[in-house]
C-alpha cells in the first residue's frame, strides 16, 4: 500500500468511525435521515413530503442551491470515502464526476408549465410531484447517483427514500445526512431524503412493495431492473449497457484514440456509458492502436489476451447472452489487473487494450474495468452491424468517430440508444465537454433517457373555459 492510499484509508476510517465529518462544520446531527428500519424511513419521508408541498418554489430553489453548495464542499472527502468503501474506480476521477453531477443536474428551472389557448379559453399543464420516490442506487456511481437523483427529485417537489448498494452504505448514509442538513438550513423539512443504514436486496424489494412509495427509480444491473419492473409499481428503470465505439477511415484518428482512452479509462470504466469495445475499420486499425498507446494504453498480445480473459470474465457474454465480469477486477486500475496475469505495466497505464475477433467474450460482456477489446473489420457498415449486435439491444449508449455524415447518421439512427456521441469521449454525452445537462440515471429500458427533474413529475391539466385569453 503506498503512502497516499494509507493516508486516505486512515482518514476515511476516522470519518466512518465518528460519522461526524460530513456535518462537523454545519453543526447538525450526523445521522439525519438515516434509519435502521425501512418502514420508519418511509413514514418519515412521507411526513416530509406533505410538509414540502407547503413550501414555496423560491424555498425549493434555495434548497437545491444549498444542496449544490454543501455537496461541492464535501466532494473530495465523499469521493475518497466512496473509493475506500467500494474499492472501485479512481477517487480523483470521482471528484470530477461529482462536480459534473452537482453543477449540471437540472433543478427547479427544469419544471416548465405549458399553456394552450384558443376560442375556448385557457388550459394550463403543470408538473406535479409523485410523492415519496423509492430510489435504488448502484455501487459504481455510488455518491453522485444519490446526489444527482436527490437534486432532480427534490427540484420536482418529491421526497426520496434511498436503498443504496450494500457495498456503499456508509458513504451513502453520510450523503443523506449531509443532504438533510443542507435542506433544513435552506428552509426545507427534515427527512426529505432518507435511507436505511443496512440496505440489502431484501430491503430493496420491501421498498418496491411499500404502499407509500409512489414510484420506483432503479439504477443498476439487469436483475434489479427486472425485479422492479415486476413489482406492479411505475418504474423508471436505468439498466446496464455495453457501449460500442466505431472508428471509420474518415475519422481524425489521433483525436479518436485520445477520446477513447480518456472516456474508457475514466473512473476505471465503471460508468455505464463508458466505451466498452472498439470496432475499427481495418485500414486505420494499426494507426488507432499506435495513437491509443501514446495516450496511456498498453497493448496485450497472444497468451496475455487469453489469460486476461480468463481472469476478468466470470460468465462469457455472447450473442443473446450478456454474461458477467469477475467482480474482483471491476473498477480496478490497469496495472492491478495486469498483475493478475503476472505482468508489470507502468502505474501510469490507463487502459489495457487487446485485439480480438468479433466473437470474443470481451466484446460481448460489460466488463466495467479498463480492459478494452479492439475488433478490426473490413468496412464501416460491418462495424455498425457488429456494434448493434454486441450492444445486446440495451439501447443505452454508443459512440462513433467519423467525418462521414451519412454513416454518422446511419449509426445514430440504427443504434436507437438513449445517448449517441459523435466524435467525442463517452462522458461528453453527460455534458462533460459536450453540450447539455448531467444525470447518472439513464433510463433506457423504460425510455426516459437521461433523467432530469421533469422526469420525476406527473402532468396535471387545468382548463378554464371561455375566459382568460388575453387576445
Ligand atoms: P447492481 O445491479 O449489483 O446493484 C444495483 C442496486 O440494485 C443495488 O442497490 C443492489 O442492492 C440492488 N439489487 C441488485 N440485485 C437486486 C435484486 N435482484 N432485487 C432487488 N435489488 C437488487 O449494480 P452495480 O454493480 O452496483 O452497478 C453496475 C451496473 O449498473 C452495471 O450493469 C451498470 O451498467 C448499471 N448502471 C446503469 C446506470 C444507468 O444509468 N443506466 C447507471 C449506473 C449503473
Residue of 224, 391, 426, 450 with the most ligand 1 atoms within 8 Å of its CB, for mutation: 224
Q: How far apart (Å, rounded) are the C-alpha atoms in residues 453 and 217?
A: 13
- Residue 353: φ, ψ to 5°: -115, 150
Contact 354, 301 (CB under 8 A): yes
Taking the centre of ligand 1 as the mean of its atom positions, its distance from the CA of residue 157, in whole angstroms, is 25
- Considering the domain architecture, whether residues 215 and 251 belong to the same structural domain is answered as no
Average pLDDT, rounded, for the chain: 94
pLDDT, one tens digit per residue, over 421-471 is 999 999 999 999 999 999 999 999 999 999 999 999 999 999 999 999 998
Measured from the Cα of 418, ligand 1's closest atom is 41
**pLDDT for residue 29:** 60
In this predicted structure, the answer to whether residue 11 has a pLDDT above a threshold of 70 is no
Taking the centre of ligand 1 as the mean of its atom positions, its distance from the CA of residue 27, in whole angstroms, is 34
Q: Which residues of 103-141 are buried (b: 16+ CB within 10 A; e: fewer)?
A: ebbbbbebbeeeeeeeeeebbeeebebbbbbbbbbbbbb
- Assess if residue 445 is contained within a domain: no
Q: Which residue has the cell 464535501?
A: 74
- Take atom 24 of ligand 1 and give the residue whose Cα is closest: 138
- Considering the domain architecture, whether residues 225 and 301 belong to the same structural domain is answered as no
Q: How confident is the model at residue 16 (pLDDT cuts 50, 70, 90)?
A: very low
Using alpha carbons only, give the angle 28, 31, 35 rounded to the nearest 5 degrees.
145
DSSP strand pairing (419-422 vs 442-443): unpaired
All three cell numbers of 178: 449531509
**pLDDT for residue 441:** 98
Give the rounded percent of residues in the chain with a pLDDT score beyond 90: 93
- Take atom 14 of ligand 1 and give the residue whose Cα is closest: 224
Q: How far apart (Å, rounded) are the C-alpha atoms in residues 383 and 392?
A: 15
- Considering the domain architecture, whether residues 301 and 232 belong to the same structural domain is answered as no
In this predicted structure, the answer to whether residue 269 has a pLDDT above a threshold of 50 is yes
- Considering the domain architecture, whether residues 102 and 206 belong to the same structural domain is answered as yes
In this predicted structure, the answer to whether residue 83 has a pLDDT above a threshold of 50 is yes
Helix or strand holding residue 298 (H, E): strand 297-300
**pLDDT for residue 449:** 98
Q: Which residues line ligand 1 (CB under 6 A)?
A: 136-141, 163, 165-166, 201, 204-205, 219-221, 223-224, 227, 238-241, 272, 366, 440-442
Question: Which 8-state DSSP code applies to residue 281?
Answer: E
DSSP strand pairing (397-401 vs 371-377): unpaired
- Considering the domain architecture, whether residues 391 and 431 belong to the same structural domain is answered as yes
- Considering the domain architecture, whether residues 193 and 275 belong to the same structural domain is answered as no
- Assess if residue 471 is contained within a domain: no
pLDDT, one tens digit per residue, over 32-73 is 999 999 999 999 999 999 999 999 999 999 999 999 999 999
Question: Which 8-state DSSP code applies to residue 321?
Answer: B
Span 364-378, average pLDDT: 98
Domain holding 30, by residue range, is 3-239+450-460
- Considering the domain architecture, whether residues 309 and 372 belong to the same structural domain is answered as yes
Q: How far apart (Å, rounded) are the C-alpha atoms in residues 465 and 471?
A: 15
Measured from the Cα of 442, ligand 1's closest atom is 40
- Assess if residue 31 is contained within a domain: yes
pLDDT, one tens digit per residue, over 345-357 is 999 999 999 999 9
For 150-212, the DSSP string reads HHHHHHTT-EEEEE--GGGHHHHHHHHHHHHHHHHHTTPPTTSEEEESS--HHHHHHHHH-TT
- Assess if residue 209 is contained within a domain: yes
Contact 395, 417 (CB under 8 A): yes
- Look up the pTM and report it: 0.94
- Take atom 30 of ligand 1 and give the residue whose Cα is closest: 220
- Considering the domain architecture, whether residues 415 and 382 belong to the same structural domain is answered as yes
- Assess if residue 96 is contained within a domain: yes
Measured from the Cα of 272, ligand 1's closest atom is 34
pLDDT, one tens digit per residue, over 201-250 is 999 999 999 999 999 999 999 999 999 999 999 999 999 999 999 999 99
Residue of 138, 164, 231, 314 with the most ligand 1 atoms within 8 Å of its CB, for mutation: 138
**How many structural domains does the chain have?**
2
Domain with 265 in it: what CATH number? Answer: 3.40.309.10
- Considering the domain architecture, whether residues 320 and 418 belong to the same structural domain is answered as yes
- Take atom 13 of ligand 1 and give the residue whose Cα is closest: 224
- Considering the domain architecture, whether residues 233 and 248 belong to the same structural domain is answered as no
Measured from the Cα of 273, ligand 1's closest atom is 34
All residues at 6 or more sequence positions from 130 whose CB lies less than 8 Å from its CB, including other chains: 156, 158, 214, 215, 456, 457, 458
In this predicted structure, the answer to whether residue 388 has a pLDDT above a threshold of 80 is yes
Taking the centre of ligand 1 as the mean of its atom positions, its distance from the CA of residue 103, in whole angstroms, is 24
Taking the centre of ligand 1 as the mean of its atom positions, its distance from the CA of residue 428, in whole angstroms, is 23
- Assess if residue 444 is contained within a domain: no
- Assess if residue 121 is contained within a domain: yes
Domain with 183 in it: what CATH number? Answer: 3.40.605.10
Which residue(s) pair with 457 in the sheet? Answer: 129
What is the largest distance, in Å, between two alpha-carbon atoms of the chain? 79
**pLDDT for residue 28:** 46
Q: How far apart (Å, rounded) are the C-alpha atoms in residues 131 and 133?
A: 6
**pLDDT for residue 390:** 98
Taking the centre of ligand 1 as the mean of its atom positions, its distance from the CA of residue 362, in whole angstroms, is 20
DSSP strand pairing (159-163 vs 324-325): unpaired
Q: How confident is the model at residue 119 (pLDDT cuts 50, 70, 90)?
A: very high
Q: Which of 235, 238, 234, 204 is nearest to 222 (CA)?
A: 238
3-class secondary structure, 275: coil
Taking the centre of ligand 1 as the mean of its atom positions, its distance from the CA of residue 236, in whole angstroms, is 13
**pLDDT for residue 471:** 87
Measured from the Cα of 141, ligand 1's closest atom is 43
- Assess if residue 227 is contained within a domain: yes
- Considering the domain architecture, whether residues 71 and 157 belong to the same structural domain is answered as yes
pLDDT, one tens digit per residue, over 272-281 is 999 999 999 9
Contact 471, 172 (CB under 8 A): no
pLDDT, one tens digit per residue, over 389-429 is 999 999 999 999 999 999 999 999 999 999 999 999 999 99
- Considering the domain architecture, whether residues 431 and 316 belong to the same structural domain is answered as yes
Among left, alpha and beta (phi > 0; psi -120 to 50; other), residue 37 is beta
For 395-450, the DSSP string reads --EEEEE-S-HHHHHHHHHHH--SEEEESS-GGGGGTSSSSS---S-EE-TTS-EE
Q: How confident is the model at residue 30 (pLDDT cuts 50, 70, 90)?
A: confident
Amino acid at each position: 500500500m503506498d503512502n497516499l492510499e494509507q493516508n486516505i484509508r486512515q482518514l476515511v476510517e476516522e470519518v466512518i468511525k465518528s460519522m461526524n465529518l460530513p456535518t462537523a462544520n454545519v453543526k447538525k446531527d450526523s445521522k439525519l435521515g438515516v434509519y435502521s428500519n425501512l418502514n420508519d424511513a418511509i413514514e418519515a419521508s412521507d411526513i416530509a413530503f406533505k410538509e414540502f408541498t407547503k413550501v414555496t418554489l423560491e424555498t425549493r430553489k434555495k434548497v437545491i442551491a444549498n444542496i449544490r453548495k454543501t455537496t461541492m464542499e464535501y466532494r473530495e472527502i465523499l469521493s475518497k470515502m466512496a473509493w475506500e468503501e467500494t474499492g472501485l474506480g479512481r477517487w480523483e476521477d470521482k471528484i470530477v464526476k461529482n462536480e459534473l453531477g452537482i453543477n449540471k443536474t437540472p433543478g427547479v428551472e427544469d419544471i416548465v408549465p405549458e399553456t394552450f389557448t384558443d376560442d375556448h379559453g385557457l388550459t394550463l399543464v403543470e408538473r406535479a410531484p409523485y410523492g415519496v420516490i423509492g430510489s435504488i442506487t448502484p455501487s459504481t456511481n455510488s455518491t453522485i447517483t444519490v446526489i444527482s437523483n436527490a437534486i432532480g427529485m427534490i427540484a420536482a417537489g418529491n421526497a426520496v427514500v434511498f436503498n443504496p448498494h450494500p457495498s456503499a452504505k456508509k458513504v451513502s448514509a453520510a450523503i443523506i445526512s449531509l443532504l438533510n442538513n443542507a435542506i433544513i438550513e435552506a428552509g426545507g423539512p427534515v427527512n426529505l431524503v432518507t435511507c436505511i443504514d443496512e440496505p440489502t436486496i431484501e430491503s430493496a424489494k420491501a421498498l418496491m412493495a411499500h404502499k407509500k412509495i409512489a414510484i420506483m427509480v432503479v439504477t443498476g444491473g439487469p436483475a434489479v431492473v427486472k425485479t422492479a419492473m415486476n413489482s406492479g409499481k411505475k418504474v423508471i428503470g436505468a439498466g446496464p449497457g455495453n457501449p460500442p465505439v466505431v472508428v471509420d477511415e474518415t475519422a481524425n484518428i489521433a483525436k479518436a484514440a485520445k477520446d477513447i482512452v480518456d472516456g474508457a479509462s475514466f473512473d476505471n470504466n465503471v460508468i455505464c456509458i463508458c466505451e466498452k469495445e472498439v470496432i475499427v475499420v481495418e485500414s486505420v486499425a494499426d494507426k488507432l492502436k499506435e495513437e491509443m498507446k501514446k495516450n496511456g494504453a498498453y497493448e496485450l498480445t497472444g497468451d496475455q489476451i487469453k489469460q486476461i480473459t480468463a481472469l476478468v470474465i466470470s460468465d462469457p457474454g455472447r450473442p443473446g447472452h450478456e454474461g458477467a465480469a469477475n467482480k474482483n477486477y471491476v473498477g480496478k486500475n490497469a496495472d492491478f489487473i495486469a498483475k493478475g496475469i503476472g505482468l508489470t505495466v507502468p502505474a501510469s497505464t490507463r487502459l489495457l487494450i487487446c485485439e480480438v475477433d468479433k466473437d470474443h467474450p470481451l466484446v460481448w460482456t460489460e466488463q466495467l474495468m479498463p480492459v478494452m477489446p479492439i475488433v478490426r473489420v473490413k468496412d464501416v457498415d460491418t462495424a455498425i452491424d457488429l456494434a448493434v449486435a454486441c450492444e445486446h439491444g440495451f439501447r443505452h449508449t454508443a459512440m462513433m468517430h467519423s467525418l462521414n455524415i451519412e454513416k454518422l447518421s446511419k449509426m445514430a439512427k440504427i443504434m436507437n440508444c438513449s445517448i449517441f456521441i459523435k466524435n467525442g469521449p463517452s462522458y461528453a454525452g453527460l455534458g462533460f465537454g459536450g453540450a447539455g445537462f448531467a444525470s447518472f440515471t439513464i433510463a433506457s429500458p423504460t425510455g426516459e433517457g437521461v433523467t432530469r427533474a421533469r422526469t420525476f413529475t406527473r402532468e396535471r391539466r387545468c382548463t378554464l373555459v371561455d375566459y382568460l385569453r388575453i387576445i
